[in-house]
Amino acid sequence: MRFWSVLFIFVLSLPLVAQDVEKITWDKTRLLEWEDFKANPKKHLPYKANTNSGLSFSWNATESSDGTTLTYEVGSNFYPNRSWVKEIEEVDYLLAHEQLHFDITELHARKLRKALSNYEPGPKMKKVLNNIYSETEQQRQHMQNQFDKDTNHSINKEAEYKWRKFVEKELNKLSEYSS
């Protein structure tokens, strides 16, 4: 009886879980739109919008007579059901700020792909790969926070412009690692 109770609860919660993991994969030809921001705004926060984005990473190693072959997949994702917007005045400008948050995530996806392409499988592979991912994720979070700090959450337009140019340049440098 206990098994079926747990199974029943799990089955009931599946639509809620599935709804929350909706994602938009970064694509240079597909910019964010306000319709993508589906979460309820956090009215107690002073920000006008919030982009929830992140890296996904999976890998597999296979052994053969030629040695170990590592395959991996890295994604840069925007999560609509965790991203929100309040009423805003400068619609295009703020949307570009939120897009830049997503672009910063893509920049780190490329950095992760580059690091993985340079990795030679060896002992403690799982630990090393997890460390590479964790380091990249920490750098991503730091850059996201620094971007908001420098631009005062999009208020400082001069800093915003510098960040746009910087991220564009960095993405171009790592274009061979785009998805």
pLDDT for residue 16: 42
Res. 3: pLDDT tops 50: no
pLDDT category of residue 4 using cuts at 50, 70 and 90: very low
- CA separation, residue 166 to residues 84, 108, 129 (Å): 25, 14, 28
Joined tokens for residue 144: 């996201």
Share of the chain above pLDDT 90, in %: 78
Structural domain boundaries of the chain?
22-177
pLDDT tens digit string along 101-129? Answer: 999 999 999 999 999 999 999 889 999 99
**pLDDT for position 113:** 98
Q: Write down the pLDDT at residue 66.
A: 87
pLDDT at position 9 is 37
Q: Rounded to 5, what percent of the chain is helix, strand, coil? A: 55, 20, 25
- Yes or no: say if 71 and 59 are a contact pair by the CB < 8 Å rule: yes
Q: Find the mean pLDDT for residues 28-57.
A: 95
Q: What is the mean pLDDT of residues 5-21?
A: 43
pLDDT at site 1? 40
pLDDT at 147 over 50: yes
Q: Express each pLDDT in 79-109 by its tens digit.
A: 999 999 997 767 899 999 999 999 999 999 9
Distance CA 3, CA 113 (A): 41
Could you tell me the sign of the dihedral formed by the alpha carbons of 2, 7, 12, 17, in that order? positive
- Whether 18 shows a pLDDT value over 80: the answer reads no
Q: How many CB atoms lie within 10 A of CB 18?
A: 9
CA dihedral 123, 129, 132, 134 (to 10 degrees): -130
